[in-house]
């Protein structure tokens, strides 16, 4: 079932036009701006496939995920980017202590109204979120909401969902 949702959502995302994606990114950026403060450390991501792209903001210090192995990732304040494993652009720079992150923007394939998510199924974010005390924000297109994601014990709940339509507390 989870796999069917993954497949379905990947397909739906890919069917969006370039201008629909751009529009969604801009709308999300406007909501996000209201949450950011200059002294924050913000963990974002570099969109790949048809993920909702997070546009840069002048506020705060930003860091991005780098995959370490099959199951773990770290967050890096980038000096530069390079295409890494899976074809995602990955940062080169200094690793941050997960405890220092104030806001983490979490990519996802689907989310439910309780704040649980379905990702690519490797558990990278599930593991990383356990180490964070940050405000956890799932970023999604509106259609990525589903009735249930069948969370297991290891799944970490998100605090907020950010979509082009606005910010929802979950
Ligand atoms: N932009 C972005 N960066 C991110 C993530 C993300 O979801 N989005 N990640 C969040 O986890 C990590 C990368 N996770 C990934 C997990 C699976 C696949 C992937 O392509 N899986 C194949 C299956 C291949 C295999 O089993 O080896 C697939 O889905 O077809 C790619 C990235 C770290 N960086
Ligand atoms: N904290 C953890 N420690 C060890 N294993 C974990 C942890 N979190 C998740 N896993 C394992 O990782 C795998 C992927 O988990 P899950 O089905 O929740 O994927 P997902 O939510 O789609 O993942 P992702 O975080 O990659 O987006 C599962 O086999 C799960 O048991």
Instruction: Indicate which atom in ligand 2 lies nearest the CA of residue 108.
Output: 27
The CATH number of domain 2-169 is 3.40.50.300:
no
Residue closest by Cα to atom 25 of ligand 2: 123
pTM above 0.90, yes or no: yes
DSSP conformation class of 16: S
State residue 85's pLDDT score: 87
pLDDT for 95-104, tens place per residue? 999 999 999 9
* Average pLDDT along the chain: 97
Per-residue pLDDT tens digits for 43-57: 999 999 999 999 989
Instruction: Report the complex ipTM.
Output: 0.91
Pick 110 or 170 by higher pLDDT: 110
- Burial tier of 79 (Cβ tally within 10 Å: 0-12, 13-18, 19+): exposed
What does the pLDDT average to over 26-52?
Answer: 97
Q: Using a 6 Å cutoff on CB, does residue 78 contact ligand 2?
A: no
pLDDT tens readout for residues 109-164? 999 999 999 999 999 999 999 999 999 999 999 999 999 999 999 999 999 999 99
Q: Which of 120, 127, 137, 155 to mutate to test the pocket of ligand 1 (most atoms within 8 A of CB)?
A: 120
* SS3 readout for 64-110: EEEECCCCCEEEEEEEEEEECHHHCEEEEEEECCHHHCCEEEEECCE
Torsion of CA 100, 66, 107, 124, to 10 degrees: -90
């Amino acid at each position: 079932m989870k796999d069917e949702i993954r497949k379905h959502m990947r397909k739906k995302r890919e069917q969006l036009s370039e201008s629909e994606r751009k529009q969604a990114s801009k709308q999300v950026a406007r909501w996000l701006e209201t949450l950011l403060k200059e002294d924050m450390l913000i963990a974002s991501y570099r969109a790949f496939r048809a993920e909702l792209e997070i546009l840069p903001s002048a506020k705060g210090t930003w860091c991005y995920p780098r995959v370490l192995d099959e199951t773990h990732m770290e967050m890096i304040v980038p000096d530069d980017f390079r295409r890494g494993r899976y074809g995602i652009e990955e940062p080169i720079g200094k690793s941050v202590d997960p405890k220092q992150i104030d806001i983490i923007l979490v990519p996802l394939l689907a989310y439910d109204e309780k704040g649980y998510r379905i990702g690519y199924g490797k558990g990278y974010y599930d593991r990383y979120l356990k180490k964070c005390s940050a405000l956890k924000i799932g970023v999604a297109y509106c259609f990525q909401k589903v009735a249930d994601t069948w969370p297991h014990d290891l799944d970490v709940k998100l605090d907020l969902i950010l979509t082009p339509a606005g910010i929802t507390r979950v």
